């Protein structure tokens, strides 16, 4: 299939539909408006459901209902809207409902602005809602990857009965890049998805003796039963940590004198700076976590070569992922941070200058 | 021996955990009987609220979801849109539906979601121990209105049937009471009608049950019915507020 020039917001929406998403509930917010508009236009054409909900709170609870009924369902928003969804996200994680949530991050805190940012890392990775739970968090760095992650996110959500968050940003949402789409699932393939591995969900019974009734629920008043439930969820998380860590290495070699860790949009700028420094004979490597949870702690530790003097963390926030990098590095070398906020995206020259100071 | 009454199939064998004199059990039974009579059980699903009836998902014998406080109409929307072949209802109390979930109920009604909503109004928060509800009557004492509901300070009770009847989309809205056998028989007819419309996919149906909370009102069950008749029914008037099937617009 030929490549198409598309905005990230539209590409991820198209990819979600191709992955079998036929239910989408959301509320308008900048800079993800093209996503909700694309769904409004396309869902009726594929026999799907689009509802512009009365609020982010309602949208995420519609996701709870549709996901509980065993269907592929998605919502999307930007930072302030994702904050509003946190109640529902906690319930979805507690009731173990598969769902896909997209955050096209903007500047914060509060209303902030509508420019790109990465300041929702803590919220996404450390749990923005109440209780012990994790989202699987995917961080794309190009429009192509944003689109590819849609199918991946639905598969992971179904496989583990867990909500998956794609943590994009206003840059990825608004930027146009060539994108090549994967196979669009046929109606027959989607029908099969419905009940495959979903014998827990809400669906019609054949007759009254068909099966015991199902409960989509996160409530359990008996502490010993609730503890068992949380431990069960965490054994699932242990499996996810074992099997689903994704990351990219860029220019990682034994010659590295600096190792960078950066994700999403920020990592692309870091790559440009690394290329420029390479031309000057200075060796800098990059680890780009693609899954922010589960996090590639060991992979970062292993990438610290014999000559590395410093690990540099570069984010579009005031230093959030750096906490996880410090856990990975475990005091072996100093960990430094550079970031810009307020919707300001650092330039390759700016990053290059910072990294060069380390030599 | 002739069996003249038995447990509806749509209720599990679990005994209700409600207080003596509480009418949730009556409301549950009316819904379950109607589902049985209409043969809807295998395609039925409901959404339980947060409040005294939080465990409704254990009492109804078909697939159920437990929603966050006030969000049942949004959850039901997602379920119905995902599986239009299923019949969906929510069961909610006054705090759940008329306070924290006001936006969700108004917009589900306004979209004309093809679901039924069963709303139990007893003018108080029961499960948390008797706090003021959006439907608490003027002057009525609760643990958070210890001097009586002061309407200058906190406003008047919300009449949900009247409010929802200002919307164009809802198909059927009726307020009934559960204060006597005669009223319960009448309430059953309303529940049966709502679920019939639900089965036929007509649109949004809403039944409000005016009921009592002897425990948190601090009144014995028999007197609580008299109190509700004298104080609640004049403010929350029973009646049909919308019935498109019968031409009541």
Question: How many C-beta atoms lie closer than 10 Å to residue B159's C-beta?
Answer: 18
Mean pLDDT in chain A? 96
Check residue A272 and give its pLDDT: 98
CA–CA separation, A325 and A121 (whole Å): 13
Of A23, A213, A216, the CB nearest to B62: A213
CB distance from A18 to chain B under 8 Å?
Answer: no
Q: Is the pLDDT of residue B81 over 80?
A: yes
Smallest Cα distance from A53 to chain B, Å? 8
pLDDT at site B175: 98
Least CB-CB distance to A216: which of B9, B65, B111? B65
Token pair, residue B219, equals 């009144």
Q: Which residues of A touch B63 (CB under 8 A)?
A: 202-203, 213-216
> Is the pLDDT score of A195 beyond 70?
no
Q: B61, B73, B75: best mutation site toward chain A, by most A Cβ within 10 Å?
A: B75
pLDDT band at A242 (very low <50, low <70, confident <90, very high): very high
Structure tokens given for B238: 């029973």
Give tens-digit pLDDT for A125-172. Answer: 998 999 999 999 999 999 999 999 999 999 999 999 999 999 999 999
* Chain A residues inside the 8 Å CB shell of B87: none
How far apart CA B115 and CA A46 sit, in angstroms, is 24
Question: B interface toward A at CB cutoff 8 Å?
Answer: 9, 12, 41-43, 45, 47, 54, 57-58, 60-68, 71, 74-83, 85-86, 103-104, 106-107, 111
Q: Residue B66: which of A49, A210, A219 has the nearest Cβ?
A: A219
Q: Is the pLDDT of residue A215 over 90?
A: yes
Q: At what angle do helices A8-18 and A33-42 cross, to 10 degrees?
A: 40
A210 pLDDT above the threshold of 90: no
Once rounded to an integer, what is the mean pLDDT over residues A2-27? 97
Instruction: Give the DSSP H or E segment for B58.
Output: helix B56-59
Rounded to a whole number of angstroms, the distance from the CA of B227 to the nearest CA of chain A is: 33
Nearest beta carbon to residue A213 from set B64, B67, B83: B64
User: For the segment B111-155, what is each residue's pLDDT rounded down to a tens digit?
Assistant: 999 999 999 999 999 999 999 999 999 999 999 999 999 999 999
Confidence of residue A173 (pLDDT cuts 50, 70, 90): very high
Write the pLDDT tens digit of every residue in B197-220. 999 999 999 999 999 999 999 999
pLDDT the model gives residue A194: 62
* ipTM entry: 0.97
Mean pLDDT of A322-331: 98
3-state helix, strand, coil in chain B (%, to 5): 40, 20, 40
What residues of B are in contact with residue A215 (Cβ under 8 Å)? Answer: 57-58, 63-66
Tell whether pTM > 0.90.
Answer: yes
Q: Closest approach of chain A CAs to the CA of B204, in angstroms?
A: 16
The answer to whether A45 contacts chain B (CB < 8 Å) is no
Nearest-by-CA chain B residue for A204? B43
> Percentage of chain B surpassing pLDDT 90?
98
The yes-or-no verdict on residue B30 having pLDDT over 80 is yes
Grouping H, G, I as helix, E, B as strand and the rest as coil, residue A172 is helix
User: pLDDT by residue (tens digit) across A334-346?
Assistant: 999 999 999 999 9
What tens digit of pLDDT does each residue of A263-286 get?
999 999 999 999 999 999 999 999
Q: Name the percent of chain A lying above pLDDT 90.
A: 93
HSE at residue B18, side-chain half, CA atoms within 13 A, is: 23
pLDDT interval class at A300 (50, 70, 90): very high
Q: If you average pLDDT over residues A62-80, what whole number do you get? A: 97
Distance, in angstroms, between A56 CA and closest chain B CA?
A: 11
**Per-position DSSP letters for B205-227, written without gaps between them:** EEEEEE---HHHHTS-HHHHHHH
Report the residue from A61, A65, A207 with minimal CB separation from B42.
Answer: A207
Query: Under a CB-based contact definition with an 8 Å cutoff, are residues B47 and B64 in contact?
Result: yes
Q: Which residues of B touch A207 (CB under 8 A)?
A: 42
From A50, which residue of chain B is nearest by alpha-carbon distance?
B81
pLDDT one-digit tens code per residue, A94-111 = 999 999 999 999 999 999
d(CA B190, CA B176): 8
For B112, the 3-state DSSP assignment is coil
From the CA of A5, how many Å to the nearest CA of chain B? 32
Q: Which residues contact A188 (CB under 8 A, 6 or more apart)?
A: none
- CB–CB contact A66 B79 (8 Å): yes
Residue A197: the pLDDT is 62
Q: What's the average model confidence in pLDDT over B213-238?
A: 97
Query: CA–CA distance from A253 to each of A276, A322, B216 (Å)?
Result: 16, 22, 71
């Amino acid at each position: 299939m030929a490549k198409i020039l598309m905005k990230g917001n539209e590409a991820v929406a198209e990819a979600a539909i191709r992955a079998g998403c036929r239910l989408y509930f959301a509320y308008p917010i900048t800079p993800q408006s093209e996503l909700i508009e694309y769904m409004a236009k396309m869902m009726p054409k594929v026999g799907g459901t689009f509802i512009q909900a009365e609020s982010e709170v309602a949208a995420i609870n519609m996701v709870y209902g549709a996901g509980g009924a065993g269907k592929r369902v998605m919502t999307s928003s930007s930072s302030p809207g994702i904050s509003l969804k946190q109640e529902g996200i906690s319930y979805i994680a507690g009731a173990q409902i598969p769902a896909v949530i997209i955050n096209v991050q903007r500047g914060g805190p509060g209303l902030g602005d509508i420019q790109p940012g990465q300041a929702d890392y803590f919220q996404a990775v450390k749990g923005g809602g109440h209780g012990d739970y994790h989202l699987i968090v995917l961080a794309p760095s190009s429009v192509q990857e944003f689109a590819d992650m849609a199918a991946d996110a639905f598969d992971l959500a179904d496989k583990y009965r867990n909500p998956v968050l794609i943590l994009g940003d206003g840059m990825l949402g608004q930027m146009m890049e060539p994108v090549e789409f994967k196979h669009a699932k046929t109606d027959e393939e989607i029908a099969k998805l419905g009940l495959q591995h979903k014998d827990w969900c809400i669906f019609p019974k054949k007759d009254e003796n068909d099966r015991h009734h199902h409960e989509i629920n996160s409530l359990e008043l008996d502490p010993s039963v609730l503890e068992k439930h949380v431990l069960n969820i965490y054994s699932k998380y242990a499996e996810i940590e074992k099997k689903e860590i994704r990351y990219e290495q860029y220019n990682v070699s034994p010659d590295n004198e600096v190792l960078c860790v950066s994700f999403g949009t920020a990592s692309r700028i870091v790559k440009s700076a690394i290329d420029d420094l390479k031309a000057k004979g200075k060796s800098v490597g990059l680890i780009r976590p693609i899954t922010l949870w589960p996090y590639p702690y060991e992979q970062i530790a292993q990438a610290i070569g014999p000559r590395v003097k410093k690990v540099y963390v570069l984010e579009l926030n005031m230093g959030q992922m750096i906490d996880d990098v410090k856990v990975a590095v475990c005091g072996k070398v100093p960990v430094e941070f550079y970031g810009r906020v307020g919707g300001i995206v650092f330039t390759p020259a700016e990053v290059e200058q910072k990294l060069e100071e380390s030599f | 021996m002739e069996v003249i009454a038995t447990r509806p199939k749509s209720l599990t064998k679990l005994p209700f955990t409600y207080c003596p004199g509480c009418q949730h059990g009556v409301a549950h039974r009316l819904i379950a009987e109607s589902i049985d009579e209409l043969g809807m059980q295998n395609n039925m699903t409901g959404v339980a609220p947060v409040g005294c009836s939080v465990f409704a998902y254990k009492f109804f014998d078909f697939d159920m979801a437990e929603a966050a406080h006030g969000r049942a109409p949004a959850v039901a929307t997602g379920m119905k849109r995902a599986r239009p072949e299923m019949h969906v209802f929510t069961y909610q109390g006054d705090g759940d539906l008329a306070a924290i979930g006001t936006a969700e109920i108004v917009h589900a009604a306004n979209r004309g979601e093809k679901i039924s909503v069963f709303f139990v109004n007893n003018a108080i928060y029961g499960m948390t121990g008797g706090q003021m509800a959006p439907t608490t009557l003027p002057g009525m004492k609760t643990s958070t209105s210890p001097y009586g509901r002061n309407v200058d300070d906190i406003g008047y009770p919300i009449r949900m049937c009247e409010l929802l009847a200002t919307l164009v989309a809802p198909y059927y809205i009726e307020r009934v009471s559960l204060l006597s056998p005669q009223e319960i028989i009448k309430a059953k007819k309303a529940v049966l009608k709502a679920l019939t419309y639900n089965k036929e996919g007509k649109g949004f149906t809403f039944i409000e049950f005016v009921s009592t909370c002897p425990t948190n009102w601090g009144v014995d069950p028999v007197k609580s019915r008299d109190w509700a008749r004298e104080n609640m029914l004049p403010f929350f008037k029973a009646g049909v507020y919308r019935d498109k099937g019968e031409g009541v617009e």
